[in-house]
Amino acid sequence: MPSAADDPFAACPDRHRTGSEKWDRYPDRDVIPAWVADMDFPAPAELLAAICDRVDHGVFGYTHEPPGFRESLAAHLAHRHGWHVDPARIIATPGVVTGLAITARLLAGRDDAILTFTPVYPPFLTLPGLADRRCLRVPLLQEARRWAIDWDALEAAAAADGARLFWLCHPHNPTGTVFATDDLLRLAECAARHGLTVVSDEIWSDLILDEDHGGPRHVPFASLDHPAARAAITLVAPSKTWNLAGLGCAAAILPDGALGRRWRSAGGGLVPMVNPLGYAAAIAAWTHGDPWRRRLVDLLRHHHALVHGAVAAIPGLSCVPAAATYLAWIDCRGAGRDDPQAACEAAGLGPSDGREFGMPGFIRLNLACPTERLVEALARLRRAFAAA
């Protein structure tokens, strides 16, 4: 690993008393927060400079997509994933969660059903109900080296009365699964057979751990040569890769202009415009952020190795290796703790509770922090599950 002197990830600012959702969860307690998926690292210098330049302009009026926003994303997708997207199909949205909520209202009716794999990022489970739609859960199968699709369960759910949408988290949060092309094509066949529209959340697509070392690569669902893929909606954002979640800037890639004309009205007056600083940061990230991203991925690969080594040494814990993200999905069901989340918090570690993802007995650990802090977090994980 690089020395601290030239490593932008060796240290990070103190986030206490900054309004940080992550760090405010455990006020006045010695608990390392490792739950919500943002990083403790500052954004790259090129992004900070772009934000400062926009601030220097001094005017922050109502803002739609500025010149370069759509084009920078299209260029990034072509360079990173070989996916050539017409910039006219791109529309800004304040976040991926907002995009999911819009698709529920735009493409499904009251009491229609939205399918998704579980475990999954909690808004996939809660947003359908908030829109008066139903959520149909399709559990993934836990195997030794991956989380796999249960095709029989998917087929049964897709055939359910009122099934309209499939929300795909790809790469998958929390398991870190990168779905292979064959699986994506089989999913497309299922969607076409049952008239489902696929909405693919690809916010983690730039944090693939081993793609430069012979591992899986990210294949955008909508890039497939298949009718269901050509009708799909893709949601992306720079927020996870460059730590920009608080700036609220994402994008939806739509199949046609007609849907784009309906997109904004589907927000029902509740969805705000993206702010100008978010646009500035996103353009800079997609244009200049790749060297920093590559260094981050190297660090995350090291951090995942640390976690897997620690988990393997704790009786009753296991973790299927992730192929993407800075998250570890840890199975605690064999550790003899009725409430793994409470056990971790008592030991001074604050992960995410698996119950929120539809899978009790698991925890999700955020690895995107300085290595020294992660080492201490793993010591606390061992303490949480030490023999009584």
What pLDDT is attached to residue 232?
98
Q: How far is CA 340 from the centre of its chain?
A: 23
Q: Tens digit of pLDDT for each residue in 178-234? A: 999 999 999 999 999 999 999 999 999 999 999 988 889 999 999 999 999 999 999
Q: What is the mean pLDDT of residues 290-309?
A: 98
Percent of the chain topping pLDDT 70? 98
Rounded to two decimals, the pTM is: 0.96
Residue 95 has pLDDT above 50, yes or no: yes
Q: Which fold would CATH assign to domain 4-44+290-384?
A: Aspartate Aminotransferase, domain 1 (3.90.1150)
Query: SS3 string of 189-252?
Result: HHHHHHCCEEEEECCCCCCECCHHHCCCCCCCHHHCCCHHHHCCEEEECCHHHHCCHHHCCEEE
pLDDT value of residue 47: 98
- Please, what CATH class does the domain formed by 58-288 belong to? alpha beta
Where exactly does CATH 3.90.1150.10 map onto the chain?
4-44+290-384
- What average pLDDT does range 295-310 have in this prediction? 98
Q: Where in the chain is the domain with CATH 3.40.640.10?
A: 58-288
